[in-house]
A = this chain, B = another copy of it.
């Protein structure tokens, strides 16, 4: 049932192969000094860096470089980015990259004018920002996290072995995002497939909650079907524009709050994955794929109707003459087959996790309450063991 909720999303999206030039519409709205945030430097090889710099200069901006954002942005990098912004009196943060760059930019945005330690304030005490927020814009070069149209910002603290996400409100969500599917053509295959599974799992986290009939569930099924269909094309031909554009668009709508309206939402797979990430520094999407099936097979009996619906509506399982359990299990087998087609990591061992780590990973796994079963610590550990 759709209970009481609010919906608004202020991000302006520019989509398509010509979308980068929309910077000419957006940049004049913000101040002169722009902190240019990017990752390991792939944008310098594929020409995106040069194109962005040209547009920044044509718009009269002073550009302050802030490269080297790592796949799981660390609290040390966050503190460095805040220093850069403070020293240069930065007016605007432009993230050029994937979810890590966008997440990092949002974390910097709420920390520049914050008098307290941002890790303590936002990630340990989960407080909301009460300072001026530096506006953020994104140019996406990787697809998956949906960070371009939401308030989420995940930061990793290796000393504390914690990887934690804070979902900030409307004032932190990027002002605009530029989505050019062609920018994703050159991504290594493992990054592409990890991103695809991240999208799919975002939808699962929202879909596998609640027993009611809900328009959000129909939309979730639509996004899942589109992602499955286009992913099969994209792994055969990474330069299939249509497939890449559908994946990019589905990614944004998978995690901009639309499909969570009226849902309690689960997020348990993400909690497992984040704790695994804190221990292994593995690619986010792969930490999710490694734990998903053991988790879903374990909770399936608690949400049998929804797993049955998932099998029939998403995987087109023929329900004739089968028990609900058989239908539901067949749906998960179809999902497993698709995950293997993509070449996803299917167990934690491949990510460098060892049996000795599992106790610590279990301790770092936040237990959520919106799914079909609130797990105990023993159940968390058992699911991790089954994922090894």
Contact = CB atoms under 8 A, between A and B. Distances in A.
B215 A226 contact: yes
Nearest to A249: B215
Interface stretch (A83-91, A239-247, A284-292, A379-387): A239-247
Given A11-B8, A226-B215, A230-B213, A246 B2 contact: yes
Q: How many copies does the complex hold?
A: 2
A129 B192 CA distance: 44
A225 interface: yes
A325 B22 CA distance: 43
Interface in A203-258: 212-216, 218-219, 221-223, 225-226, 229-230, 241-242, 245-246, 249-250, 253, 258
Interface stretch (A12-20, A326-334, A361-369): A12-20
B213 A229 contact: yes
A255 to B, nearest CB: 14
Contacts of A3: 16
Contacts of A241: 1
A246 B17 CA distance: 35
Contacts of A18: 4
11 contacts: A2-B242, A4-B18, A7-B12, A7-B13, A212-B242, A214-B246, A215-B249, A216-B249, A219-B253, A249-B261, A253-B258
Interface of A: 1-19, 22, 181, 212-216, 218-219, 221-223, 225-226, 229-230, 241-242, 245-246, 249-250, 253, 258, 261-262
